[in-house]
Structure 1
Amino acid sequence: MTRQLHFVGYCCVSPTWHNNGAWRHAESDAVNVINPSRYENIAKILEEGKFDGLFFVDCLSMFESYGDTFAADLKWGGQMYMLEPMQVLAAMARATKNIGLAATMSTSFYHPYHIARQFATLDHISGGRAGWNVVTSANNLEAQNFGMEKLLDKALRYDQADEILEACGALWNSWDEGALLLDQEKGLFADPEKVRYANYAGKYVKTRGPLQTPRSPQGHPVIMQAGSSDRGREFAARWAEMVFTNQRDKAGMQTFYSDMKGRVEAAGRNPDHCAILPALDFVVGETESIAKERADYINSLVNPELGVADISNSLYLDLSSHPLDQKVDELDLSEGAKGIRGIFDLILGGSKGKTLRDAGQAWGESQMIFQFVGTPTMIADHMQDMFESHACDGFIVTPKLSPSSYISFVRSVVPELQRRGIYRKDYTGRTFRENLRSGS
């Protein structure tokens, strides 16, 4: 089969996603932010576009690095995470048949038994469409919500995460295929010879098992990961079936792609079984000028100070005492390196010569991810070039505006890619994993 693009939709249970003013747009569905029908509708739109899957980013605290308060995000509608995503995915599973459904869950706070049972259950509910976006967390406020003073050091968090994945694997494999007999005539419900204890014991976690939940259709969820540090890439090379990355340009994508594929192969895995998907922000128009007008209007709704607050939250560094017209080059952001490494690099790389207000505006527009603005043909040209240049295996598709950005992408860009033969016309697999690996 010819190599084909893979798409995964980026979602938040939040008023806004990557554009902090989009919730104010007349076409926005943010008024339904805590209504599951919003997310069921998004899932249906992406399934119409034959997306491999969608996933929810998540955080387990309010953001309050800016001025030591959560006021900015709450007042102006920042990227807050308002409902627990696994329960939202269960609703989306009942409204769809094919699209993969993934949630973020932290290895720093949840025990492997809880994680294993949650995702095995979602895999059963969805008929084999569960995915897990593995994060180690980077925010001590999250730790304090779970009764901890602070997180482990970054390297140790990945060591702990390795054990969590090993323990979850032992639990998922505690049931063999065929263990559930369901023989009413003979009165045999399950075969105890095909169920075993996990008996996992590591430095950080222990679990006895067996899991209560029978083996799920996929055996285990599709594993996603987004670490950009050297240790994060090492972790992804061992475990990830899909890597979510933010790169500013084609050259950066190619470098990351080559590095990750090499690491996966060095870990003894098939590089084709790890899809590299950079984030893509887009605005589609009937003409290039119309697309730019649409993008300009959406971006005019951005609140630059909220953008600065969100930079503070990403770096875990309070910028509230600095005037918005101060040059970013004059700021000491070295403490920001304690935040998420990939975000720190994006901010430093994209803000040279700019004021803090400029940086807040840029961050508020797209969180500095790669952007395409143009006609369906122009966007398809860019995507095809990135794909055929081995800069990616597809994209994490992040809309400026929900749901209309997704609708325009599915109904105009997807058909163009299908005509070119580089994107599926229908699902060929039964599970999330099978669809993700098809056309690799």
Structure 2
Amino acid sequence: MPDQTRQMSLIAFLQAQNCSNYVGSWRHPASMTDFLSADYFTRIARTLEDATFDMAFFDDRLAMPDIYGQSHDLAVRHGIRSVKMDPTPILMAMAMATRHLGLGATYSTTYYEPFHVARLFATLDLMTGGRVAWNIVTSMNDSEAANFGRASHLEHDLRYDRADEFLQIVRDMWTSWDDDALVLDKSSGEFADPGKVRRTAFNGKYFDVNGTFTVPRSRQGHPVLLQAGSSGRGRAFTGRWADVVFTAYSSREAGEKQYRAVKQAVADAGRDPGQVVVAPAIGVVTAETPELVEKKYELIDALARPEDSLALLCEVLNTDLSTRPYDEPFTDKELADMSWQGLRDRVIQLSGTANPSVRDFVQYSGRGSLPKGGSTLVGTPTQIADQLETWFGTCCDGFVISAASVPGTYEDFARLIVPELRRRGLVKETYAGDTLRGNLGLPAPAPFAQGARA
């Protein structure tokens, strides 16, 4: 049984686009179509806050899925994540519609610069009263590189090497102002104490920075750091930096193993594993009766199309599959060169073959589909709550809820499942803190050593 003194962290998985991470969601008859408006997102925000979700965060890519056939035709024609807006203005619209809900956005360490990201998120954190998180990604394909005028995408481990330096600089900037640096004494004319503001000096392989940061600290110290590294190199990065670890499990047994590995990576980095929240993504289909659940799932499942899976797989594997024989196994070298190694490893595990084919990736990746079992929970509120309670504490500290229809999935979870979780004492009735860190049960960040090399 989970420790009843702890409660689940609830996080919503959002997209600043025409669909949720489940591409077929835009075709659902109940999904909203005003996704180009602020109202679309503020309605979701209010629903999540009423259900005391800790946070909603936006996943993001810096290109549409246009690798299949080296063309954007498939993505645009079928709405396969073809719209991708900048999530940070949307985050602010949601913040203005809520008082407690934490809000996160994805920004890449491969295609942005440390000062830009540090200033943007520090400002967002101030403007929201300490409710912001940064979802750290290293990006994944050549389409993103092309949008930024680069010939190709940086190799997997090198992206993490660059990201380590990037995070050192950003953390250095965020801790360069002491909490009491501002004086604001009009009579003496002293605005701030220069002895409590430090320069950021860093010299590394990828960055050479020497300057003074321009944004004071927020109420929560600095934004929460969210990260989803699941490969060996990615997990080491996660262990060093993440406050919240966003992950994916193929089963409870796999989840328990991965949970221990993530916590060990945190400990190996000299940090307290109890101060890091691990939350797997889950899809949820629920209704008041088993009959309604089945009808709802059948409708959602029918929205998936093969082209969705193929376009999304090309995107995350950084490989054009349009001319590849469907059942031809990938070679060891091809597998080693794939961008998303965590997904590759999951397909290898589930398929039971060391050299899976395109068919295996379509069948076992879950990209573009919502198969029952594993991370997709289908059942009545009591059945779903039973499963979440079983997972909680043994393989996770909370859950990231992804949507099969918008806002339907979030409304169903808030209306049907949250009351059952509250009845069991697993989810809070009201917000405990006034910052995102406070609501996640995370301590204020400690000062970070300046000028070190990655």
The TM-score range, normalised by the shorter chain, is over 0.9
CA contact (8 A) 1:58 1:81 kept: no
The counterpart of 1:377, out of the listed 371, 378, 382, is 382
- Aligned-residue Cα RMSD (Å) equals 2.3
Q: Distance in 1 between matches of 2:180 and 2:165?
A: 27
Alignment of 1:29-428 (within 5 A): 29=32, 31-322=33-324, 326-327=326-327, 330-332=328-330, 334=332, 335-337=334-336, 338-350=338-350, 355=359, 359=363, 363-366=367-370, 370-388=375-393, 390-428=394-432
The offset of 1:62, in angstroms, is 2.1
What is the TM-score when the length of structure 1 is the normalising length?
Answer: 0.93
CA contact (8 A) 2:67 2:143 kept: no
- Show structure 1 runs of 5+ residues with no match: none
How many corresponding residue pairs?
Answer: 433
Structure 1 residues 246 and 80 mapped into 2: Cα distance closer, same or farther (>3 Å)?
A: farther
Structure 1 residues 181 and 367 mapped into 2: Cα distance closer, same or farther (>3 Å)?
A: farther
Summarize deviations over 1:192-225 as a string: whole Å, max 9, x none: 2322211222221122231111222222211111
Structure 1 residues 148 and 358 mapped into 2: Cα distance closer, same or farther (>3 Å)?
A: closer
Q: Distance in 2 between matches of 1:80 and 1:116?
A: 28
Name the SS for the 2:236 alignment partner. Answer: helix
Identity percentage of aligned residues: 39
The reply to whether residue 6 of structure 1 matches residue 16 of structure 2 is no
Q: Distance in 2 between matches of 1:23 and 1:115?
A: 31
- Opposite residue 393 of structure 1, the aligned amino acid is D
What is the TM-score when the length of structure 2 is the normalising length?
Answer: 0.90
- Opposite residue 273 of structure 2, the aligned amino acid is P
CA contact (8 A) 2:275 2:442 kept: no
- Opposite residue 153 of structure 1, the aligned amino acid is E
Summarize deviations over 1:22-51 as a string: whole Å, max 9, x none: 21122101x212212211111111111111
The offset of 1:347, in angstroms, is 3.6
Say which is worse superposed, 296-305 or 254-263, in terms of deviation.
Answer: 296-305
Q: Distance in 2 between matches of 1:358 and 1:230?
A: 24
Say which is worse superposed, 228-237 or 148-157, in terms of deviation.
Answer: 148-157
Matched residue, 1:27: 30
Name the SS for the 1:209 alignment partner. Answer: strand
Summarize deviations over 1:386-438 as a string: whole Å, max 9, x none: 114x1111111101111011001011100100100111111111211111127
The offset of 1:370, in angstroms, is 0.8
- Show structure 2 runs of 5+ residues with no match: 444-454
